[in-house]
Amino acid sequence: MSIFRSILVGILLAACFGFTECYRPVTNSGLPKDLKIVAVPVFQAEAKGLRYRIESRFTDAVAREIIRRGNGLKVQGTTTGADAVVEGTIRDFSFTGVLLDREGRARVYEVTVIGAVTVRDLKRESILYDNQNFVFRDSFEFSDDPRSFFNEEDPAVERITRAFAASVVSAFVNGMGVRLDRK
């Protein structure tokens, strides 16, 4: 029986130590090490009838997220002196009623944003990241009591700009999905 235990313990130890190389925490950015300044010019808007300042709200959210999670990256609005640029376009932005109340009025709305983002390395003249089909959805609800009515449209837009920015920055700062064009 002790031989069986020894073999079992040996197998368990081999299995445990055999998987130590499987997990490697992300410690480096997916960006080149010499990239220090990132330009985030105001995003463009392709969609007709966009809400007031929607492009600048998405731009500001991306810039704030780079500052928050970019490991010391500096952000500026122009490409002069920048090492990289984040170019964005809001292709569509819509509100759709998804839940009606007893009177047939929409109570819950879904917000959908479709965007395009490209990150360019200006030093090497290459594309670091490109996604022409970012799709985000969020929902908000109107109160049915007029005394406690609070328009949730603006907070919903803020939530979706933060979610959009977090995904964009995660994609290129953490190296997920980064495509480096190295020659």
Say what the pLDDT of residue 82 is. 95
Residue 22 lies in a domain: no
What is the model's pTM? 0.70
Q: How many domains does the chain have?
A: 1
User: Which H or E run includes 167?
Assistant: helix 153-173
Q: Residue 115's closest CA among 154, 75, 86?
A: 86
The answer to the question of residue 47 being in a domain is yes
* Domain assignment of residue 24, yes or no: no
Q: What's the domain range around 140? A: 30-173
Beta-strand relationship, 37-39 and 84-100: parallel
Lowest mean pLDDT among 41-55, 90-104, 140-154: 140-154
| CA angle, 87 then 81 then 29, to 5° | 60
Looking at every residue in the chain, the average pLDDT score rounds to: 76
Q: Does 7 fall in a domain?
A: no
pLDDT tens per residue, range 105-121? 777 878 788 889 999 99
Does some domain include residue 36? yes
* Residue 164 confidence (pLDDT): 84
Under 8 Å between Cβ of 96 and 81: no
Task: Work out the pLDDT band at 50, boundaries 50, 70, 90.
Answer: low
User: What residue type is 133 in one-letter code?
Assistant: N
* Residue 9 and residue 56 in contact, taking contact as beta carbons nearer than 8 Å: no
Q: Which residue has the higher pLDDT, 2 or 76?
A: 76
Per-residue pLDDT, 13: 53
Q: Is the pLDDT of residue 143 over 70?
A: no
* Residue 11 placed within a domain: no
64: CATH: 3.40.50.10610
